[in-house]
Chain A
Amino acid sequence: MLAVEHLQKTFPAPGGTQTVQALKDVSCRIEKGDFFALLGPSGCGKTTLLQSIAGLETPDGGVIRIDDAIVFDGDRRVVVPANRRRLGMVFQSYAIWPHMTVYDNVAFPLVYGRTKTPAGQVSPMVMQALERVRLADYADRLTPHLSGGQQQRVALARAIVHEPRLLLLDEPLSNLDARLRDAMRVELRQLVKSLGITTVFVTHDQVEAMSMADKVAVMRSGSIVQQGPPTEVYFRPESAFVANFVGHSNTIPGRVTAVETAGDLTIRRFESPLGEILSSMPSAVGAGEAGLCIIRPQAASIAPGDQAADGSNSFAGIMTARHFLGDTVDGVFRIGDTEFRLSLGPFDTTAEGAAVDLVVPRDRCIIVPAGS
């Protein structure tokens, strides 16, 4: 279990007068055995948060707890040093020590760590860790000759060999090529889940976060703007930023004119350049307030003929461009004066210039506050 409460960190700006607030009152809680992803653009503070959890960076205030033991408390001036937190970490550069063999790299936490492992147990534990990452045959190799993927697995073996309380992964896949990255995503998650280690994973790649994590926290300029399971973050973004960072979206400005409740269904009427949009999703935007309507390119479809759908939103549009991307077709439509993107299947045959009806179910329109 990891709990982060009201964490603050401010960096003095180099040379300038303005300071950089890397962490602004960040709180989150990660349950035992969970795989937790910190997702955000570069400079959002996710690395600072990870380094603070690791003990490599000292925050200015707040509390960090690992398994109910306090490792940092700003008010009480408690700072447990990094080497006593019993963590495992995979660094972005892997940080494999080039002067040691694979075996020595992996054995390091057992031999030199705070809790010394009896000499007789070191070898079996190292070999077990290497077997888990399928590198047992490489134990005696010098590390500079390993490939990127192998180095990454050595780093992983080193991070889990001493059964850490917490596994920290700092963009571990970003240095691999695309195909290897796809394979490692699955493998990494399976490995960590089978060991049951609580894992914090930093990434700027939403595909990694979505596919690997049990829970995702999206960060922006020092704050967590939304956290929850991947599906929740994807289907119910609370801001335009999250909607656009996690996947793509059409963001349509407008105003909520009325909130109507019928039974257990609440419908918002949203006035927009596309016409009126009906949304059945919960929202923080009340009647009379300005907002943004989020519609995923995958949420809409082209209606066959001109038959009205079952209460779905329907817009008349003209296809202005189609971009063939292989597995999908990125269709660009104009509805009135507004551009609208729609993700089509590769076998779709709608031609440029064709007039079509675009249908979006009410539960696929999300209204978020304006300016988010």
Chain B
Amino acid sequence: MALDSPAPARRQGDGQRSIGQYLVLAIVAAIVIGPLLMLVRTSLLPEGRLPLETLEISFENFRAVLTDPDLPVLLANTAFYALGSVAIGTVIATALAWLAERTDMPGRFGIRLLMFTWMAVPPVILGFGWILLINPGSGILNVFWRALTGGDGPFTIYSIWAMIFITSFSVIPTAFVMIGGLFRNMDPQLENSGYVHGGSAGVVARRITLPLLTPGLLSVGIYVFIAVVQAFELPLIVGLTARIPVLSTRIYLLSSPDVGVPNYGLSAAFGIFLLVLATLFMGLYFRVVGAGERYRIVSGKGFRPRQTKLKRWTFPAMLVSGLFCLLMLLPIIVLLWTSFLRFYELPSLAALERVSFATYREVLGRSAVQGAIGNTVLLVLGASTITMVLASLTAWYSLRGSGWVARAIDVLSFSPLAIPPIVMAMAILLLYLRTPLYGSVLILIIGHVTIYIAFATRTIASALIQLNKELADAATISGAGFFTVLTRIVIPLIWPQALNGWLWVLAHSARDLTIPLLLMTNANAVMSTVMWTLWDVPNLPGAAALSVLLVLSLLLVIVPAQIFIARASAKSQ
């Protein structure tokens, strides 16, 4: 038989595989390194020059950053803002996650549903809603307070505390999902052996449960901290009016000032400053995660965690967690109300008569909005699909590939995690400013692929790692080629995780304001930027109507897809 002849052939598939490997490396390098090089070059520009105009190098921008009298304020604001949000957010998330995963509280499913679908809610919308709720003049809660007590309303949106408060609510779902995983994966035997050997509930919680969870909680805390330091949208909406500058908004203001010309060089220098900070924290994160590996508490699946019976605490627990959920939903409810009005007014019986779909009709009738909706669909589908395809290849080659190429792909695909979106947006702006791509939807897609590739690659990589290698080997032994193994075995087994990743990128791409705002022209407006523009006019009902439409359409995609995924993965287990 011809196949058995000892022809000097290299292992079949090796050739094409290494070409694919280099191709993926080239693409990932281009989208990640290209903008960063541009950022560095711009930060080293002499004043008033544009990149590629000159070869001159100047450290003037960095000198300006480091001697800026505002720098201590910026750093202090950023640190206080991030620490405050993380502290409040993780404490509430831990409490909710414990109630939802480890107790018999009724309504646990509702909390989980809310947390898992929360990615449909853009942070921008939270900002809008809370401004309507607690601005000092006409904020709904303040008005109610006045009506009840006669005194001035105690709340104000325009303070760092309000910023921290709102941001902590926006990080609760992420922290909840991560911490919930920690609770779920903890082997109950570790706690049971504590009880068996005479420990009381308090002792077990203090000496066993908490120490086991500490590395995990710490890593969640640092992860959220990095996210908040990088956060741009809420500081933009709340912080600009309140004159509470943080690093991310400073970068934006320098590159897109309301008056005057953009100072790209200084903005880039601030960007690099923020990038270095974020990288340092990322290093810390990996150190902590490394420690978490030593505490590895994930034992095989299929065990049922110990459930605490709340007994007489059931009602108070329900009340408090219900209140938290209501607080999370409040801004959305307010926007819903606003969207049914032609002109914004406070909720009242009289106003109820003026409720109609008129604003929806008016907003949807605008050609700019129709264009933006088309662009948004293009953007989210393009970004999520391209990201997942690239992430699958990246994960595959970094796990199954060999040598320095695999490692380079791994590091490159991971590094965008440390790059704040606002910095990446700046860098992409600088790189493509004078190319035909600028002003197109394609540039937004490139931006989103770059900032979401790290998360998507991790999703696929963890699915591939969990996939027993023998499953693919068994197909190879049976005589199947590379593509048959991929299409018949690997993809059918990891598609739920891949679809989850796709959904995540899709939702985040639709939510994101950072990239579209920095790269916005008349031609490539999307839902989030139009919302922002309407809000700025101000056309509050218009912005509210678009917000509601965006959240609703995301929910319509996310909820059925997640139920489908949950059913499918339950079936094959």
Name A's B-contacting residues (CB within 8 A): 54-56, 58, 66-67, 69-71, 73, 76-89, 91-93, 95, 97-99, 108-109, 112-115, 142, 144, 155, 158-159, 162, 168
Write out, one digit per residue, whether chain B residues 209-239 have a CB within 8 A of any chain A CB (1) or not (0).
0000000000000000000000000000000
B478 near A84 with CB under 8 A, answer no
Q: Is B433 at the interface (CB under 8 A from chain A)?
A: no
Those of B451-506 within 8 Å (CB) of chain A: 468, 470-471, 473-481, 484, 488-489, 492-493
Contacts of B9 in A (CB 8 A): 78-80
A83 contacts B468, C-beta separation under 8 Å: no
B480's nearest neighbour on chain A, judged by CB, is A112
- Best-surrounded residue of A66, A71, A88, A108 (most CB of chain B within 10 A): A108
Contact of A84 among B3, B471, B492, B493 (CB under 8 A): B3
Q: Is the CB of B572 within 8 A of A56?
A: no
- What chain A residues lie within 8 Å of B560 (beta carbons)? none
Q: Give the segment of B10-18, B75-83, B173-181, B418-426 that binds chain A.
A: B10-18
Any A CB within 8 A of the CB of B365: no
- Is B5 located at the chain interface by the 8 A CB criterion? yes
Minimum CB–CB distance from B495 to chain A (whole Å) comes to 9
For the complex of A and B, the 3 pairs showing the least CB-CB separation, nearest first, are A113-B479, A69-B4, A109-B478
B492: chain A residues within 8 A (beta carbon): 99
Q: Cβ of A58 and Cβ of B11 under 8 Å apart?
A: yes
Supply 23 A–B pairs (Cβ within 8 Å), ascending by A.
Answer: A56-B477, A58-B11, A67-B4, A69-B1, A69-B5, A69-B6, A76-B6, A77-B8, A78-B6, A80-B3, A80-B4, A82-B473, A83-B477, A89-B474, A91-B470, A95-B471, A108-B478, A108-B488, A109-B479, A112-B484, A142-B571, A155-B474, A158-B474
B476 touches A56 (CB 8 A): yes
Q: Quick check: B481 and A83 within 8 Å, CB to CB?
A: yes
Q: Which residue of B lies closest to A168 (CB)?
A: B477
Contact B470 A112 (CB under 8 A): no
Determine whether the beta carbon of B4 is less than 8 Å from that of A95. Answer: no
A158 to chain B: which residues have CB within 8 Å? 474, 478
Given known A-B contacts A70-B6, A77-B8, A80-B3, A92 and B470 have beta carbons under 8 A apart: yes
Q: A73-B6, A98-B572 are in contact. Are A113 and B470 (CB under 8 A)?
A: no
Query: Across the interface, do A87 and B12 meet the contact criterion of CB distance under 8 Å?
Result: no
Which chain A residues border B537 with CB–CB below 8 Å?
none
Identify 13 new A-B residue pairs, CB closer than 8 A, beyond the known A69-B6, A76-B6, A80-B4.
A55-B476, A71-B4, A78-B7, A81-B13, A86-B479, A88-B478, A91-B474, A98-B493, A98-B573, A108-B478, A155-B474, A159-B477, A168-B477
Contact partners of A113 in chain B: CB under 8 A:
478-480
Which chain B residues border A99 with CB–CB below 8 Å? Answer: 492-493, 572
Residue of chain B at shortest CB distance from A82: B476
* From B8, B470, B476, B571, contact of A83 by CB (8 A): B476
B8 and A84: CB pair below 8 A?
A: no
The answer to whether A112 and B475 have CB atoms under 8 Å apart is yes
List of A residues within 8 angstroms of B11 by Cβ: 58, 79, 81
| The one of A77, A95, A155, A159 that contacts B10, using a Cβ cutoff of 8 Å | A77
- How far apart are A39's CB and chain B's nearest CB, in angstroms? 21
Q: Which of A85, A91, A108 contacts B473 (CB 8 A)?
A: A91
CA distance A99 to B569 in the complex (A): 10
Q: How far is the CB of A99 from chain B (nearest CB, A)?
A: 5
**Do A108 and B6 contact each other (CB < 8 Å), given the known contacts A58-B11, A92-B470, A98-B493?**
no
Partner of B12, one of A70, A84, A93: A84
Cβ–Cβ contact B484 & A95, under 8 A: no
Is the CB–CB distance between B3 and A89 below 8 Å? Answer: no
- What does the 1/0 interface line of B1-41 toward A look like (CB < 8 Å)? 10111111111110000000000000000000000000000
List B contacts of A70 (CB < 8 A). 6
Q: Which residue of A lies closest to B479 (CB)?
A: A113
- Within the assembled complex, what's the spacing in Å between the Cα atoms of A80 and B480? 13
Neighbouring A residues of B475 by C-beta, 8 Å: 97, 108, 112
Question: Shortest beta-carbon distance, A124 to chain B, in Å?
Answer: 18
Residue of A nearest to B478 (CB): A109
Instruction: Let me know if B12 and A81 touch, CB within 8 A.
Output: yes
Query: Chain B residue with minimal CB distance to A69?
Result: B4
Please give me the residue from chain B that is nearest to A93 by CB atom. B470
CA distance A77 to B8 in the complex (A): 6
**B478 engages A162 (CB within 8 Å):** yes
Interchain CA distance A148-B480 in the complex, whole Å: 25
Question: In the complex, what residues of A have CB within 8 A of residue B12's CB?
Answer: 81, 84
CA distance A95 to B469 in the complex (A): 9
Could you say which residues of chain B place their CB within 8 Å of the CB of A83?
Answer: 476-481
Minimal beta-carbon separation of A200 from chain B (angstroms)? 13
Complex CA–CA separation, A115 to B4 (angstroms): 13
The interface centre, meaning the residue of A55, A84, A155 with most chain B CB atoms within 10 A of its CB, is A84
